[in-house]
Amino acid sequence: MDDMKALFIGGTGTISTAISRKLLEEGHELWLINRGNRNRELPEGAHIITADINDEKYVAEQLAGQQFDVVADFIAFVPEQLERDYRLFKGKTRQYIYISSASAYQKPLSDYRITEGTPLANRYWDYSRNKIAGEELLMKLYREEDFPVTIVRPSHTYSERSVPVGLHGKNGSYQVLKRMMEGKPVLIHGDGTSLWTLTFNSDFAKGFVGLMGNIHAIGEAVQITGDESLTWNQIYQTVADALGVELNPYYVSSHFLAKCDTQRLNIEGSLLGDKAHTVVFDNTKLKKLVPGFCADIRFDQGVRKAVAYVMSHPECQIEDPEFDAWCDCVIEAQEEALKKVQMSQKR
């Protein structure tokens, strides 16, 4: 692949950090528009434009005279932000990549095997509906204005800095690990048997970079995930094994958890609109566009990396006593309901 000049909006998130690292390792020229709030995460060797992308006039001034092979926005969530990007980058890039979401796919699914042709519809989650609206806007601009769009749909992508779980509080997943290590019951939605797909960020980056500068990806939507599917029981057991502790699972209906969401964790969206459903991704389209793509890191390998990193970096060990108390409250409520049912049957 020829050297590219790429511009990322964001660049310090779970997905974009891995892509930035891979691009720089391969010798490409990388520019980042970043507010500078996470300077420690900025990749060495990238050209940094310290700016808020929402300050459109200032950003336009900073980009005057610049041309890019690829522009990718990792922090666009609503159509208005994409309209802004269109104004900023029309005529300045050969390819514009929008990071959408696999949560945009139809929920509930009519077929658990997901391709790019699976309908987009999610009545549970505003985030997903906004991603769908963004896709529709960009494809209209592609059809009517020749704006060179590629849409990428990630699913649950993780890195060594955070252990992925199905349900956690506002401070991340560490409190779930802490509950495991303390021998406390850990909430698992449903009965833990639905299938889920987790992708390590360095594997995602291989697929993403393969789409960059790829003329066959223009006007296309492409999902990037691994091919490994695991039940939530397997996921939580693998995390417990990596911690070297015994798993004490406690199963609660996703609908009940959503009704109990006093912490405003958006459980309805994240579970009923996403993780509560079995999803198995068919990555045939990605492999056709990026020959040789393969996600090499199995979940047991990736989660061991993540657990080792989190447990050796105190800054990743953010406790969440409110979430911890909420878990105990949900468990107590279900146990009380069970006792009432059992007592009523004895009368």
How many other C-beta atoms lie within 10 A of the C-beta of residue 246?
A: 10
CATH assignment at residue 324: 3.40.50.720
Its pTM stands at 0.94
Distances (CA, A) of 228 to 225, 298, 299, 345: 9, 7, 8, 44
SS3 of 332, please?
Answer: helix
Distances (CA, A) of 43 to 11, 21, 38, 118, 222: 8, 7, 11, 36, 26
Distances (CA, A) of 263 to 115, 217, 319, 326: 34, 41, 15, 8
335 falls within a domain: yes
209 falls within a domain: yes
DSSP code for 103: G
Mean pLDDT, 10 residues at a time, the chain of 347 residues:
88 91 95 78 85 94 95 96 97 97 93 94 95 98 98 96 96 97 98 97 97 98 97 98 98 96 93 95 98 96 98 96 97 95 82
217 falls within a domain: yes
State the total domains in the chain: 1
Q: Domain range holding 328?
A: 95-340
What is the pLDDT, as a whole number, of residue 108? 87
For 346, phi then psi, to 5°, come to: -85, -15
What is the pLDDT, as a whole number, of residue 1? 54
36 falls within a domain: no
238 falls within a domain: yes
Tell me the two tokens of residue 235. Answer: 């996921």
162 falls within a domain: yes
What is the pLDDT, as a whole number, of residue 232? 98
48 falls within a domain: no
Provide the pairing of β-strand 29-34 with 70-73: unpaired
SS3 of 297, please?
Answer: coil
What is the pLDDT, as a whole number, of residue 301? 98
Tell me the two tokens of residue 192. Answer: 């833990």
What is the pLDDT, as a whole number, of residue 38? 64
